[in-house]
Amino acid sequence: MDRSHATGGAANSAVPGKIQEKAPKGVEKALPDSIHPTGKEPGQSTHKTHALNDGEDSIVPKKIQEKLPESVERAVPNIIHNTGDKK
């Protein structure tokens, strides 16, 4: 602990720096990349799906969902990959 795990450093996160420094890595990784990016590249998926019902609300195979950048998942129409975002 005592450091941020945000991609590109603490400044790329909406989470206050002191909280980033004290939060366990698992907590940081669980936050959406749109709030606190922890993927290899900003906006990348952190090996999880962003579709509802743990990926079941999508016709995209789950392994692919887990590799897609979150921004791509959220850009796909909900009829194909339902992230719950209003489009």
pLDDT tens-place string over residues 53-64: 999 999 999 988
The pTM score is 0.50
What's the Cα-to-Cα distance from 47 to each of 38, 51, 65, rounded to whole Å?
A: 11, 12, 8
More confident position, 79 or 25? 79
Q: Taking 70 as the threshold, does the pLDDT of residue 87 lie above it? A: no
Residue ranges of domains in the chain: 1-38, 45-87
- Using DSSP's 3-state secondary structure scheme, residue 66 falls into helix
Q: What is the mean pLDDT of the segment spanning 2-27? A: 78
More confident position, 86 or 42? 86
